[in-house]
Amino acid sequence: MRDAEFFRDWLEAAAAAVEREADRLTELDSPIGDADHGTNLLRGFTAVRTALAGADPSTAPGALLQLAGRTLISTVGGASGPLYGTLLRRTGKELGEDPEVSDTALHRALEAGVGAVAQLGGAAPGDKTMLDALTPGVAALGTSYRAARDAAEAGALATVPILARKGRASYLGERSIGHQDPGATSSALLLTALADTAEGTS
């Protein structure tokens, strides 16, 4: 079972990964976006750190994810804010108020979260978006956390030859081909942080 401490550790690991990779995310966002993905996520996850530090120690896993989601929506801006915010909020809502959740429940909740992202953004896997890492990554959670990390990272790398169909990269048409999608890359960071946290505690 995963308790609130696990979720705090996951979000902290995600914040640390964003901090470490912010420049790279912004660099990836330059040729096919507007060179701010790392900056924006760093602002958001820094605020998440502050929000979690201020949250009551008894806050349940679901409420922690919802708090993190709300914080991202109100600090990140751009498309990433609502999309990542919705991912965490919906996942948190699915987890309910239980003080501990099973891996199966977390897997199901993340599936609902990814579904909400797809609905909000109107995108599908293969459009060169966050979903290219989130969808295979969360699907592989049924196997293991390690498999989820590998699938998410492979999914992010696999966006390189794809023609973007959603988001700002879609304006480039064929010139979006040959670049790794920054959103898929940050999504892989989030799932890698989850897998690393799970492996460190299980």
Give the one residue of 43, 90, 108, 149 binding another protein; rule: CB under 8 A.
Answer: 43
User: Which of 199, 188, 10 lies closest to 92 in space, CA to CA?
Assistant: 10
Secondary structure letter of residue 163 according to DSSP? P
Site string for another protein, 79-98 (x = CB under 8 A): xxxxx---------------
Residue placing its CB nearer to another protein in the complex, 40 or 197: 40
Tell me the residue type at 65. L
Residue placing its CB nearer to another protein in the complex, 152 or 169: 169
Both tokens of residue 99?
A: 């003080």
Give the one residue of 31, 93, 98, 112 binding another protein; rule: CB under 8 A.
Answer: 31
Q: Which residues touch 173 (CB under 8 Å, ≥6 apart)?
A: 163
Give the one residue of 146, 171, 178, 202 binding another protein; rule: CB under 8 A.
Answer: 171
If one asks whether residue 186 binds another protein (CB under 8 A), the answer comes out as no
Residue placing its CB nearer to another protein in the complex, 61 or 92: 92
Three-state secondary structure call for residue 101: strand
Binding window for another protein (CB under 8 A); candidates: 8-16, 39-47, 138-146, 191-199: 39-47
Q: Which residues touch 133 (CB under 8 Å, ≥6 apart)?
A: 152, 153, 155, 156, 159, 184, 185, 187, 188, 191
If one asks whether residue 39 binds another protein (CB under 8 A), the answer comes out as yes
118-124 contacts: CB < 8 A, separation 24 or more?
Answer: 120/82, 120/83, 120/86, 121/79, 121/83, 121/166, 121/167, 122/166, 123/165, 123/166, 123/167
If one asks whether residue 35 binds another protein (CB under 8 A), the answer comes out as yes
Range 123-142, binding another protein (CB under 8 A): none
Q: What is the spatial distance between Cα 167 and Cα 155, in angstroms, rounded to a whole number?
A: 17
Three-state secondary structure call for residue 202: coil
In the complex, what is the shortest distance from the CB of residue 37 to another protein, in angstroms, rounded to a whole number?
Answer: 10
Give the one residue of 18, 32, 162, 198 binding another protein; rule: CB under 8 A.
Answer: 32
In the complex, what is the shortest distance from the CB of residue 123 to another protein, in angstroms, rounded to a whole number?
Answer: 9
Give the one residue of 1, 5, 74, 99 binding another protein; rule: CB under 8 A.
Answer: 74
Residues that bind another protein (CB under 8 A): 26, 30-36, 39-40, 43, 73-83, 120-121, 163, 165-168, 170-173, 175
